[in-house]
Amino acid sequence: MDRKLFVVTNRKLIKDGNLINVTEAIVKGGADAIILREKDLSSKELYSLAVKMQEVVMDRIPLVINGDYNVAVKCKADGIQLSYNTFLDFDKAYDKLKGVSIHSLEEAKKVYDIGANYVLAGHIFNTACKAGLPGRGIEFLNEICSDVSLPVIAIGGIELNNIDSILRAGAKGAALMSSVMEAENPEETVYNMKEAIDNY
């Protein structure tokens, strides 16, 4: 797996709330995948939003649905992102991209054994989204990257000034949320991070 840049959505962080415009900016900026993560929406609302985003993305990059298997199947998404506990009971016959959010080496090993395609490991650095919870740090990331034969995508407080340390620890890429959702120019934010990853 080449090094990747994922973007995780949170429309509530967008100044004007327009996730569709930000979606286009994410694609133009060069991101490798979008994870649609809007946990407050009903399945019906999430499906409707996913379809609108697919119309913008137009198969240029994968659109992954967070947490809702039925929506992922119904809209024929490119994959699904699940919590560790949900993945343990997940339909192993699902043949699209399967990502799992993990918070320990043991979890990473377990999901590798049962068929995950990649793991989202975090949160690595302190972030406002996890206020009061200290980041797990580079040593945590390095341990997982060293011991698990799965692509590891790091998440949590990742910025241009620390992306090199993430990649040096063995991560196959990074996932951004706040820095893109809150950006005045999300396309430029994505472009700059993607360039830093590609040039590492």
Alpha carbons 55 and 58: distance in angstroms, whole number: 5
Tokens of 100: 């799992």
Task: Give domain 4-198's CATH architecture.
Answer: Alpha-Beta Barrel (3.20)
> Is the pTM value of this prediction over 0.75?
yes
Question: For residue 130, what pLDDT band results from cuts at 50, 70 and 90?
Answer: confident
Question: 149: buried, middle or exposed (CB in 10 Å: 19+, 13-18, 0-12)?
Answer: exposed
Q: What is the pLDDT of residue 127?
A: 82
The mean-pLDDT minimum among 18-27, 59-68, 85-94 falls in: 85-94
Per-residue pLDDT at 162 exceeds 90: yes
Q: What is the pLDDT of residue 41?
A: 98
State pLDDT tens for residues 181-192. 999 999 999 999
Q: What is the pLDDT of residue 31?
A: 99
User: Cβ contacts of residue 44 below 8 Å, gap of 6+?
Assistant: none
- Give the torsion sign (CA, 142, 146, 150, 151): positive
Collapsing DSSP to helix, strand or coil, 8 comes out as: strand
| pLDDT, the chain, mean | 96
Give the mean model confidence (pLDDT) for residues 101-127: 95
State pLDDT tens for residues 11-63. 999 999 999 999 999 999 999 999 999 999 999 999 999 999 999 999 999 99
Question: For residue 134, what pLDDT band results from cuts at 50, 70 and 90?
Answer: confident
Alpha carbons 13 and 2: distance in angstroms, whole number: 29
State pLDDT tens for residues 100-113. 999 999 999 999 99
Burial track 57-75 (b if 16+ CB lie within 10 A, e otherwise) = beeebbbbbbbbbebbeeb
Q: What is the pLDDT of residue 32?
A: 99
Q: What is the pLDDT of residue 92?
A: 81
User: Cβ contacts of residue 78 below 8 Å, gap of 6+?
Assistant: 33, 62, 63, 64, 96, 97
